[in-house]
A and B are shown apart, each in its own frame.
Chain A
Amino acid sequence: MTASKLASRSTLFTLLAGLLLVVLIGWRIAMLGDYTFARIVQDFLNALTLGSLYALIALGYTMVYGIIRLINFAHGEIFMLGSYFAFYAMTLTPMHWGLALLITVLLGGTVLLVLRSLFNLEEPKRTAALALLIFAGTFFLLAFRNMGWIEALLLSMLATGVAGVLLEAVAYRPLRGAPRESMLITAIAASFFLQNMGQLLFGPRVQGFNAETILNRPLNFTIGEETVYYTGILIVVPTVTAVLLFVLNLFVSRTKLGKAMRATAQDAEVAQMMGVNVNQVIALTFFIGSILAAAAGVMYAIRFGQIHPLMGLIPGIKAFTAAVIGGIGSLPGAVLGGLLLGFIEIYVVSLFPTLSAYKDVFAFVLLILILLFRPSGLVGEDLTEKV
């Protein structure tokens, strides 16, 4: 089938889904007089935020799948690590200078090593400048002041990205070339390992993530007599997701590394013959995917106010579903799938309150339908061209 035919079909599909949603909302308004415009706006904002969160996690999922055809089940746990790193960055700083120095050396050293291997930093001057920046920056952040959410977010993204690269090096790289099932099972094992390691290291209890940030400040407005309640995060999450989607798309389609990624996705062996360092490209993919997971983890923690070692499980499954619905391997597909999932979860509860316990069932039924009628997802293209 040609690409344009597929594209027109997927547009039709999306249009139909949108139409169905509009009809359902209309029906509900007709049925019940109390579903006011303010409530529609409220539901829409809530759905947009939830959907964008799923989309953010799904982006990382889909990137990794796009390159090495691996469903990285440990992605949810990477997301969990991201929120814990930010949590500790915010609660344990400022720390004693000795401890800060130790962490700086360990963390900064690992980060530097990983970054060097990822970006071929050979020029000594630039490397030295980067090293100085990383070490001084980390030490300054840890030792001198209580970190705010933005610093914590950035530090956590860096640390989680490195953790993702390490995970790939330890768990997946030795299996390069092995049957895909082995990789899949290893991914499940890595997920269990990280969950249990989290319970040991961070404790099994729920921790409050009570960041007093601008993101939690109420920004309510009124429509007519009624108030619509929302906070800063309802703007930030969709914006961050949209920006990241745009930047990632540019990165993959315009840069040299992006080109190497696309080449690796198409055929790793041939790409290697053409001089692409496949291991490096895959590590870079994990780095970017994990950075996205960390961003999502921190946003999720700020939005819902709590973190625990098993928190990655459900969002991980949801994001995987979102990625498959959108067409696994496709970046816009992941965002579309995430948004769709968020909207379904919110609108099932508002339109059919008695069925609200089954909102996940609706999402998974949609997944089955899509797998039946469009196995490559809503915007998934021909299987040979991913990312």
Chain B
Amino acid sequence: MRKSLLVAALLLIAGSLGLAQVKIGINLELSGRFAAIGNQTLNGIKVANLQTPEVLGQKVELVICDNETTREGSIACAQRFVNEGVIGVLGAISSSMSIPAAEVLQDAGIIMISTSSTNPQTTQIGDFIFRMAYTDDFQGKLAAAYVVGDLGAKKVAVFRQIDDDYSYGLAGFFDQTAKKLGAKTLIQDFVANTVDFTAQLNNIRSFKPDAIYYSGFCAEGAPFMKQLREQGFAQQVVGADASDDPQCPEGAGAAFDGYIFTGFATPNLIADPAAKKRAEAFKQKYFEVIKNAKPGDFNGFVLAGADSYNVLVAAIKAAGTTDVKAVRDALGNMEHYPGVSGDITYKGTDGTPKDRTIGFYKYEVKSASDWKKIELFGKSTAEVQ
């Protein structure tokens, strides 16, 4: 009897030691339209978790929730995390899924770091909401300067997904800057899951654009590019970070050849040599850990996922406690954290890191299975302002 009691007591102590865990929620688009980039982000988080599995002597437990690329799914994930009492939530990827989740988590007082939402609104929801990416006013401005300045386009047709916060906002910023730089624009709208773009394409025929800007995602982008080329448009198409998704070249094949887009910078495009070194080391680790990863699977989304995990763990370490308020304050005061995606400073911002680098890329596509992404150049936020 006494023996069994002793065993039970020992088990309890061992259990309490072993079970002391820090829970981090992950709200990502693992199925549905953004499945490919969702899983890339998750892989980034997993590798970062492998590199830093513990904080304050406790094991970090990742609680993964698939929002199925729906707003309702994202809200459900956020509510689940509120009930489970996680310290912070990583994700979602897109602005349309991040904004509704952010509203729930801000009310509950839980930290959220969106890995790649770029709509300025996201972090303005409250002081518990952070992001890892730049914002779309910056991205739109850069893209417009490139299309109008470098490519010399006088007339630009803009395609935006009107029911998506990211696409709609980004197209607006692009349009503003392009007009300011003296170009004429013609906006065409579509909605999620559109596959037939022939009517919109027929609409821009007499406008005779010199270039085309596409601010949507790959689920619609693949049929869009296929029909664009079929319908006789040979103009340069420029897209944004949502095109940094293997579903684009894999979905439409050779139609994506020559497509240029802006996106979260990969190691080669990071100017800061120390940050570049860290990113390269992380890239190696990524291909060691994630078996069967294709070269095209490593992109900015992976780095953003990894760093969202890294900064949250660093903030818990800096706070020295798992009290959410204290961790939030540590995160909000973070300065010059050496991340794999560059230097990260949240102090004095609305939750958007101060210095971010945008990369310009080009797809070289022979077929759906034979394609690569060429890195053109990088531009940092600090450089532009």
Report if A137 contacts B (CB, 8 A).
Answer: no
- The answer to whether B232 touches A229, judged by C-beta atoms less than 8 angstroms apart, is yes
| B371 smallest CB distance to A (angstroms) | 10
Instruction: Determine the chain B residues whose CB is within 8 A of the CB of A313 once the complex forms.
Output: 193
The listed residue (A42, A229, A305, A353) touching B252 by CB distance below 8 A is A305
Instruction: Determine the chain B residues whose CB is within 8 A of the CB of A354 once the complex forms.
Output: 189
Report if B230 contacts A (CB, 8 A).
Answer: yes
* Complex alpha-carbon distance, A227 and B252, angstroms: 24
Interface string of B356-382 (1 = CB under 8 A from A): 000000000001100000000000000
* Complex alpha-carbon distance, A56 and B121, angstroms: 43
Report if A18 contacts B (CB, 8 A).
Answer: no
CB-nearest residue of chain B to A342: B196
Instruction: Determine the chain B residues whose CB is within 8 A of the CB of A34 once the complex forms.
Output: 206
- The answer to whether B219 touches A356, judged by C-beta atoms less than 8 angstroms apart, is no
- The answer to whether A208 touches B368, judged by C-beta atoms less than 8 angstroms apart, is yes
CB-nearest residue of chain A to B66: A204
Interface string of B182-218 (1 = CB under 8 A from A): 0000001111010110111011011000000000001
- The answer to whether A204 touches B31, judged by C-beta atoms less than 8 angstroms apart, is yes
* Complex alpha-carbon distance, A300 and B33, angstroms: 18
- The answer to whether B218 touches A206, judged by C-beta atoms less than 8 angstroms apart, is yes
Instruction: Determine the chain A residues whose CB is within 8 A of the CB of B163 once the complex forms.
Output: 357
Report if B57 contacts A (CB, 8 A).
Answer: no
CB interface residues, B 221-250, toward A, < 8 Å:
222-223, 226-227, 230-232, 246-247, 250
Instruction: Determine the chain A residues whose CB is within 8 A of the CB of B253 once the complex forms.
Output: 208, 210, 305
Interface string of A297-314 (1 = CB under 8 A from B): 000100011101010011
Interface string of B93-107 (1 = CB under 8 A from A): 000000000000000
Q: Which of A146-154, A250-258, A344-352 contacts B (4 or more CB under 8 A)?
A: A344-352
Given contacts A350-B203, A356-B200, contact A206 B232 (CB under 8 A): no
- The answer to whether A210 touches B202, judged by C-beta atoms less than 8 angstroms apart, is no
- The answer to whether A349 touches B36, judged by C-beta atoms less than 8 angstroms apart, is no
Instruction: Determine the chain A residues whose CB is within 8 A of the CB of B199 once the complex forms.
Output: 43, 46, 345-350, 356
* Complex alpha-carbon distance, A349 and B219, angstroms: 20
The listed residue (A218, A229, A305, A353) touching B222 by CB distance below 8 A is A305
- The answer to whether B232 touches A349, judged by C-beta atoms less than 8 angstroms apart, is no
Given contacts A39-B202, A205-B250, A210-B253, contact A308 B219 (CB under 8 A): yes
* Complex alpha-carbon distance, A318 and B156, angstroms: 32
Instruction: Determine the chain A residues whose CB is within 8 A of the CB of B162 once the complex forms.
Output: 357
Report if B251 contacts A (CB, 8 A).
Answer: yes
Instruction: Determine the chain B residues whose CB is within 8 A of the CB of A360 once the complex forms.
Output: 191
| B285 smallest CB distance to A (angstroms) | 24
* Complex alpha-carbon distance, A35 and B207, angstroms: 11
| B314 smallest CB distance to A (angstroms) | 32
- The answer to whether B223 touches A304, judged by C-beta atoms less than 8 angstroms apart, is yes
Given contacts A346-B199, A349-B200, A350-B199, contact A206 B230 (CB under 8 A): no
Interface string of A207-243 (1 = CB under 8 A from B): 1101000001010100000010101000000000000
The listed residue (A216, A220, A314, A356) touching B193 by CB distance below 8 A is A314
Report if A272 contacts B (CB, 8 A).
Answer: no
Instruction: Determine the chain B residues whose CB is within 8 A of the CB of A81 once the complex forms.
Output: none
* Complex alpha-carbon distance, A345 and B193, angstroms: 14
Report if B30 contacts A (CB, 8 A).
Answer: yes
Instruction: Determine the chain B residues whose CB is within 8 A of the CB of A229 once the complex forms.
Output: 230-232
Please tell me the number of chain B residues within 8 Å of chain A, measured between CB atoms.
Answer: 41
Report if A11 contacts B (CB, 8 A).
Answer: no
* Complex alpha-carbon distance, A190 and B254, angstroms: 36
* Complex alpha-carbon distance, A356 and B196, angstroms: 12
Report if B35 contacts A (CB, 8 A).
Answer: yes
Report if B348 contacts A (CB, 8 A).
Answer: no
- The answer to whether B36 touches A46, judged by C-beta atoms less than 8 angstroms apart, is no
Report if A117 contacts B (CB, 8 A).
Answer: no
* Complex alpha-carbon distance, A216 and B230, angstroms: 8
* Complex alpha-carbon distance, A349 and B162, angstroms: 14
- The answer to whether A349 touches B203, judged by C-beta atoms less than 8 angstroms apart, is yes
- The answer to whether B198 touches A346, judged by C-beta atoms less than 8 angstroms apart, is yes
Please tell me the number of chain A residues within 8 Å of chain B, measured between CB atoms.
Answer: 40
| B191 smallest CB distance to A (angstroms) | 5
| A29 smallest CB distance to B (angstroms) | 12
* Complex alpha-carbon distance, A34 and B206, angstroms: 6
- The answer to whether A208 touches B196, judged by C-beta atoms less than 8 angstroms apart, is no
Instruction: Determine the chain A residues whose CB is within 8 A of the CB of B254 once the complex forms.
Output: 210
* Complex alpha-carbon distance, A39 and B207, angstroms: 13
Q: Which of the listed residues A39, A308, A314 has the most CB atoms from chain B within 10 Å of its own CB?
A: A308
Report if B53 contacts A (CB, 8 A).
Answer: no
- The answer to whether A208 touches B232, judged by C-beta atoms less than 8 angstroms apart, is no
Report if B273 contacts A (CB, 8 A).
Answer: no
Given contacts A218-B230, A304-B196, A349-B200, contact A205 B35 (CB under 8 A): yes
Instruction: Determine the chain B residues whose CB is within 8 A of the CB of A306 once the complex forms.
Output: 222-223, 251-252
| A314 smallest CB distance to B (angstroms) | 5
Report if A36 contacts B (CB, 8 A).
Answer: yes
Instruction: Determine the chain A residues whose CB is within 8 A of the CB of B205 once the complex forms.
Output: 39, 42
- The answer to whether B250 touches A208, judged by C-beta atoms less than 8 angstroms apart, is yes
* Complex alpha-carbon distance, A202 and B36, angstroms: 13
Report if B32 contacts A (CB, 8 A).
Answer: yes
Instruction: Determine the chain A residues whose CB is within 8 A of the CB of B247 once the complex forms.
Output: 205-206
Given contacts A218-B230, A357-B189, contact A205 B36 (CB under 8 A): yes
| B198 smallest CB distance to A (angstroms) | 4
| B34 smallest CB distance to A (angstroms) | 10
* Complex alpha-carbon distance, A360 and B218, angstroms: 21
Report if A199 contacts B (CB, 8 A).
Answer: yes
| A230 smallest CB distance to B (angstroms) | 8
* Complex alpha-carbon distance, A158 and B188, angstroms: 41
Report if A143 contacts B (CB, 8 A).
Answer: no
Report if A50 contacts B (CB, 8 A).
Answer: yes
* Complex alpha-carbon distance, A229 and B226, angstroms: 13
| B186 smallest CB distance to A (angstroms) | 9
Instruction: Determine the chain B residues whose CB is within 8 A of the CB of A39 once the complex forms.
Output: 202, 205-206
Instruction: Determine the chain B residues whose CB is within 8 A of the CB of A310 once the complex forms.
Output: 32-33
- The answer to whether A207 touches B202, judged by C-beta atoms less than 8 angstroms apart, is no
Q: What are the nearest 5 A-B pairs in CB distance? A: A349-B199, A204-B35, A34-B206, A46-B198, A208-B368
Question: Which positions in B face A, CB cutoff 8 Å?
Answer: 30-33, 35-36, 162-163, 188-191, 193, 195-196, 198-200, 202-203, 205-206, 218-219, 222-223, 226-227, 230-232, 246-247, 250-255, 367-368
Q: A35-B206, A357-B191 are in contact. List 20 more A-B contacts (CB 8 A).
A: A34-B206, A39-B205, A43-B202, A199-B31, A204-B30, A204-B35, A205-B250, A206-B222, A208-B251, A210-B253, A210-B254, A227-B232, A300-B195, A305-B251, A305-B255, A347-B199, A348-B199, A349-B203, A357-B162, A357-B189
Q: List 11 A-B contacts (CB under 8 A).
A: A42-B198, A204-B31, A206-B222, A210-B253, A229-B232, A300-B195, A305-B252, A306-B251, A345-B199, A357-B163, A357-B190
Question: Which positions in A face B, CB cutoff 8 Å?
Answer: 34-36, 39, 42-43, 46, 50, 199, 204-208, 210, 216, 218, 220, 227, 229, 231, 300, 304-306, 308, 310, 313-314, 345-350, 353-354, 356-357, 360
